Amino acid sequence: MRSHRTLQSLWALPFPVLALLACPLAIAAATGCCSSALANDARNAANERPSGQFTLGERPFVASSSWNTPLASNATFEEIDWPMGARFGVAWSSYSPAIHVSSASDPVVSVEHPASWGLPAGTLKIRIPADADGAPGTDGELLVIDGDTVHNFWQFKRLSPEAATARSYAATNLVTGDGWGRRSPFLGAGIVAAGSSQLAGLLVQAETDRGDISHALQIAVDMAYAKPGRVGEAINGDGVNPDGLVQEGERLAIPSSVAMPRGLSPLGQKVFRAYQVYGAFVIDVAGGVTNLRAQANAYDRMTIVALQQDLARISPLLQRVGQPSKGNP
């Protein structure tokens, strides 16, 4: 549910002390799980899909989703007083999920998971490639696309070719869903702190290779800057600093009047343009750095190193979008 990073390295990022933070099971207890019948209906709704196969690289979720809606032409902006020492980067080799697409040749894996995000405890049977496992780092995230459904696991651990466990699980439809969770009855679309799908706003190589990014990006904000509570379409939040700068669910962006810095890498240029056209939603916290996330089983080290350098220049330009985004009260 959370992705925490320390300041030491982009490639090997040890887990900091997290006594202040609760695990996804606490989310279920705090929000109250749906009744068994309702939760089973929710599970079935997540797994049912129209016939067809979502192709990785397509833009996920309905066109009307706020993830896919450009900033309004009359949007207003409020500067964020990012501290001079604030760090910005990208999570890739740890604390960011790999994406695996199920195929008929993959083994059927029984994934046991407890009650969380509005779903009851149970065992999900799904085809998962034999080499798929949770990401390096304590969060152990994993995304599996099966047809038109994206399954999101937290602390996924492969026990054998046909068995695995996860400490938290949620799923949503890539064609009919909007990428966000539901407040009432409570139901997560994914395992990040805001309850959104971890695919929403993730940098996906098959997509960025096609051209510009045509949706908002996701940001895990340094926990030192995360306020308690949530706004917008977030159904949960795990910020703990009352003097923080942003809340989960907020939309940030770079105003169109800001010139693109010179010398950005090709991917950095695409991120900059996405920040200006669509912005980014704060959906999680991280330790000591404010991060984008990039698909772990894609891209190459040179591309990510260049993007890391770009984001140190780009991300401090982000401002709070003053005009309420879709779903705000």
Tens-place pLDDT, residues 107-164: 999 999 999 999 999 999 999 999 999 999 999 999 999 999 999 999 999 999 999 9
Which one-letter amino acid corresponds to residue 92? W
Q: How many CA atoms lie within 13 A of 186 on its CB side?
A: 21
If pLDDT is split at 50, 70 and 90, which confidence band does 53 have? confident
- Looking at residue 210, what is its pLDDT? 95
pTM: 0.85
- On average, the pLDDT of the chain sits at 86
Burial 196-217 (b: 16+ CB within 10 A, else e): bbbbbbbbbbebbeeeebebbb
- The sign one gets for the Cα dihedral 287, 289, 290, 294 is negative
Of all residues in the chain, what percent carry a pLDDT higher than 70? 82
Q: Is the pLDDT of residue 192 over 70?
A: yes
Higher pLDDT, 19 or 270: 270
- Looking at residue 323, what is its pLDDT? 55
DSSP 211: S
If pLDDT is split at 50, 70 and 90, which confidence band does 52 have? low
- Looking at residue 73, what is its pLDDT? 92
Q: Is the pLDDT of residue 35 over 50?
A: no
